[in-house]
Chains A and B, each alone.
Chain A
């Protein structure tokens, strides 16, 4: 990157050196295609599945979809913050495992006499935030790639969960805690309300606050942000703390659903959430995208899974289809932005 490079208002980084190329036109003309793509996918999938199956377009099924989307959405919002800065956070599954075990032992449970209620809930989110803080500090202070740091804390989180895990699985006996998953508001699980609040808070934070502007700025051109005197490391760490706290919250939500403290509470949650963020149109290189895009990405994945189940597609084929869809979607949306000298790692 050189000083002659420019940053567009979208935070897209445009290298100064570029061979003139016909394809540049396609970048200028539609412009918003990569933001419209997830909407188009969602509409097409919904239309296709409602034609294939009578049960798809029912209120009951949309309630199911909303319930299934709640936890992935919370994870995806947190990941969006980190990915917008251009980093990555792989630790979510470990964080969820740790929170699930620790919180179930702090709430009224089958194994000890604790009954901390809301304190336990706050504790769960705090555990996640501490994981995020550790990630952020290791990443910014030791100057290690975030991929490696969070790979390490993923393992550490799983390890802490199995270390704290008692001989038996703790069964959560706190009724008001469980009612968050079992009780309903507006016809759907209360977890959906939590997810919506998280999405709104995330979107507001990114759109209207200094934190949000700096997160986009760091993803767009970190070195320029540094030269401008912005405390880049602080904001990077903050992004990890947000992601960690939300992974902790997701761990709480999973525990409320399962009713037990489970070291597998986060199992197979990370890659779908990452896929959703990317499908939504947030760039892994940072600087472009947002929370609302990630919401669309989550919905595309959940609708795809739900529709295939209703159409009688086996779960294994489903996994393969989702993998293929991710590749095709990202190739299709990025096709117009190709450029001979574009560097994509």
Chain B
């Protein structure tokens, strides 16, 4: 990236990078710690609760990964998920599966608009999505009148997420399928190559004719789509829509992507790593309950784990100036 690489501790950072497997090692160690305290953690019931808890974070984090690979950020995903949950309940109650498809289409379009504004107007994604965050939360509060709206009994278009597929919660399986599709797109479509090119050396990518507006718009549209999908899973689980339903999911989702080993500065990482990150974040969240850590200390530990995990896994050799 830069011919003037002045990272003084380059040697130290290269020693830390053991082939990108560190996030997975960290996950195994964390699971080991929890199991040592409570062997029942690896039981079916407990693993199912991990899967149920992980499903919405997984969908959000999968959608965020391409945006972060580009070196951008999307702060609006959780607010969009909450907005979608409000719309889903009313549209699914009225129009069933068509309503659900409509919400997904709308969220995808909203994401695409954000991507186009960000890249055509050349405004940092941090700001555009910060504005979108306010816009979506205002709209969902207004649309729901700041109350929870219940889902009508037996909406098959949504309630499937509570079924089990081969013993695994269907919402989580859905997340895995989306992860696999996005993973294949990133791996095999030109779009996927462009993500890495723009994330690691955008001027060079632009010089070689990468269609940056389309690449960005597609990445943010995907984020919008997975936000709506996360809303489906959340509404299925709680059976109501609420303007604050997903507000606690933004930070875990970003943390999951980054803990998995995708660099926040772009160009390094991938969708597969995000799965590891999502499981790490969920194991930390659930493991603290299992181990019996004082609930008031959970935020401290969660914050510390994010910092430690990124400190261990970030590939500093590929970052010249860290902001």
Contacts and interface: CB of A to CB of B under 8 A. Distances in A.
Contact of B300 (A160, A275, A338): A160
A323 to B, nearest CB: 3
Contact of B124 (A138, A144, A341, A344): A344
Looking at B4, B297, B299, B319, the one whose CB has the most chain A CB atoms below 10 A away is B299
A313 to B, nearest CB: 11
A151 B133 contact: no
A326 interface: yes
B142 A159 contact: no
A146 B323 contact: yes
A132 to B, nearest CB: 15
Nearest to A337: B122
A316 B135 CA distance: 9
Looking at B118, B303, B320, B322, the one whose CB has the most chain A CB atoms below 10 A away is B303
Contact of A286 (B141, B264, B306, B323): B323
B131 A327 contact: yes
A59 interface: no
A278 B323 CA distance: 17
Interface in B275-298: 294, 296-298
Interface stretch (B37-45, B56-64, B88-96, B201-209): B201-209
A29 interface: no
Contacts, number: 196
Nearest to B259: A148
A340 B206 contact: yes
Interface string A123-156: 0000000000000001100111111110111111
A159 B299 contact: yes
A316 B125 contact: no
Contacts of A331: 117, 121, 123
Contacts of B124: 284-285, 344-345
Measured as residues with beta carbon below 8 angstroms from the partner, the interface class of chain B is 35 or more
Contact of B142 (A138, A149, A316, A340): A316
A155 B122 contact: no
A345 B134 contact: no
Interface in B54-86: 70-73
Given A319-B141, A327-B117, A334-B123, A156 B135 contact: no
A142 B301 CA distance: 18
A1 B303 CA distance: 33
A226 B206 CA distance: 28
A109 B136 CA distance: 40
Interface residues of A, number: 68
Chain A binding site: helix, strand, loop or mixed by DSSP?
helix
A3 B206 CA distance: 20
Contacts of B296: 159, 162-163, 165
B29 interface: no
B4 A222 contact: no
Chain B binding site: helix, strand, loop or mixed by DSSP?
helix
Interface stretch (B99-107, B182-190, B307-315): B307-315
B303 A271 contact: no
Given A151-B255, A345-B72, A226 B135 contact: no
Nearest to A87: B323
B296 to A, nearest CB: 4
Given A145-B265, A284-B127, A345-B72, A323 B298 contact: no
Looking at A147, A323, A339, the one whose CB has the most chain B CB atoms below 10 A away is A323
A2 B306 CA distance: 33
Interface string B239-283: 000000000000100110010000011100000000000000000
A223 B304 CA distance: 29
Contacts of A144: 307, 310-311, 314, 322
Contacts of B122: 334, 337-339, 342, 344
B310 A324 contact: no
Contact of A271 (B130, B136, B300, B301): B130
A317 interface: yes
Interface string A311-325: 000111111111111
B146 interface: yes
Given A143-B322, A144-B310, A145-B323, A17 B203 contact: yes
A285 B123 CA distance: 11
Nearest to B322: A143
A15 B2 CA distance: 12
A275 B299 contact: no
A320 B123 contact: no
A69 B13 CA distance: 44
8 contacts: A147-B264, A156-B304, A316-B146, A318-B138, A323-B135, A325-B131, A327-B117, A345-B71
